[in-house]
Amino acid sequence: MRTSLKIRIGLLSVTFAQAMVVTALATTPVFAQVAANYTMNLPVPTAAATATCTLLPATAPTTSLALVQTFVDHFTTFDTSLANGWSPHYDGGYDDVNKKFLGYDWSVKRTLSGNAEQEVYVDPNYAGTAGKALGLNPFSAVKGVLHIIAQKTPPELMKYVGNLPYTSGVLTTRKSLIQRYGYFEINAKLPVGQGLWPAFWLLNVDKAWPPEIDIMEAPSVIVKLGQVNNAVHWKDATGANRASSCKPKTPIDDTFHQYGALWTADRIVYYIDRKPVSQIITPPGVNSYMYMVMNLAVGGTWPGNADATTPIPADMQVEWVTSYMVGNPKTCALTTNGVRQCPAQ
């Protein structure tokens, strides 16, 4: 029968019927494109994690963990204006009275000044202080690839965006998907150059910081060493901020790579191309609902500022973003503000 035919989508082998579900969903404007019963088996290290991040050898023994997909976007289309779609700014909370998400017009949610970053995160409708849309769009979806472009701010618009010299993009699932534990992944081609800082990470839904799980950070200062950063941030018993990180060797080249993390109650395992590269015991307090973030920052205290050698425009390319859970995705449900919430199993 035709439904027994196996088809490959990305790294996964699925039935013809499942592929038709994915295809049908991909051609609709529905944001959280989730195929029913779409599963994968993830290799998980058999070695116990420790309290600090530890690199794993390529030969580390693994066992298989079955996961079920809760979210995927293949970027066949892209629109930041959807009510429960990608959010192009950092989270400002939710107004229960006026029934809307906050932060869109807040300049503090359009960059991370604490990092001394040089970019302002924009979208076509963002007005800054101009009183009308500036028409700056860092996003485009072309042939199933999302492009996040960092480029110089037009001089005549600098005064409306806090005099930040670069425009770029950030996208979060705060309005669409929040999840407690699971596997989270981006398939991306990363730009390389002085001051560039692409990342894929998880933030806490209640806006408290930490916790934070950095699935992949690729600031220029470590990329030139052939590394990316895996990290987790948390508060210890005294309330002090703590962090632990690993810097696995990885090719940052002109090809796409999958960067992922398996987050459970017991440990966090980081992956490159679905192979485990590092792990750590899940720190205390890293146990509440989180959402995905991807962005292309420019400059800052860690990578240093962009300079004349930086390849601007810079292009972070994304083929997909996805998440999986252990257990039954039917336990996921919509919250009162329309966000898909997937609990721990």
Domain ranges within the chain, ordered by starting residue: 1-30, 38-342
What is the number of alpha carbons within 13 Å of residue 161 lying toward its C-beta?
26
Judge contact between 167 and 153, C-beta under 8 A: yes
Return the percentage of the chain with pLDDT > 70, whole number: 89
Residue 16 above 80 pLDDT? Answer: no
Most confident of 2-11, 24-33, 138-147: 138-147
Q: Which residues contact 250 (CB under 8 A, 6 or more apart)?
A: 226, 227, 228, 257, 272, 277
Cα-Cα-Cα-Cα dihedral sign, residues 121, 126, 129, 135: positive
Q: What is the pLDDT of residue 35?
A: 52
For the question of residue 212 being annotated catalytic, the response is yes
Integer Rg of the chain from CA: 20
What is the C-alpha to C-alpha distance for residues 259 and 231, in angstroms, rounded to an integer? 13
Catalytic residue among 117, 185, 217, 319: 217
For the question of residue 185 being annotated catalytic, the response is no
The string of pLDDT tens digits covering residues 185-241 is 999 999 999 999 999 999 999 999 999 999 999 999 999 999 999 999 999 999 999
Q: Which tokens hold the place of 211?
A: 């916790």
Mean pLDDT score, 89-117: 96
Q: What is the pLDDT of residue 253?
A: 85
Please state the φ and ψ torsions of residue 223, each to the nearest 5 degrees. -60, -40
The string of pLDDT tens digits covering residues 276-311 is 999 999 999 999 999 999 999 999 999 999 999 999
Report, at the CATH architecture level, how domain 38-342 is classified: Sandwich (2.60)
What is the number of alpha carbons within 13 Å of residue 129 lying toward its C-beta?
11
pTM for the model: 0.91
Q: What is the pLDDT of residue 254?
A: 86
Residue 23 above 90 pLDDT? Answer: no
Q: Are strands 196-204 and 212-217 parallel, antiparallel or unpaired?
A: antiparallel
Distances (CA, A) of 94 to 98, 102, 209: 9, 6, 17
Confidence of residue 345 (pLDDT cuts 50, 70, 90): confident
The string of pLDDT tens digits covering residues 327-342 is 999 999 999 999 999 9
What is the C-alpha to C-alpha distance for residues 179 and 57, in angstroms, rounded to an integer? 29
Which of residues 189 and 8 earns the better pLDDT score?
Answer: 189
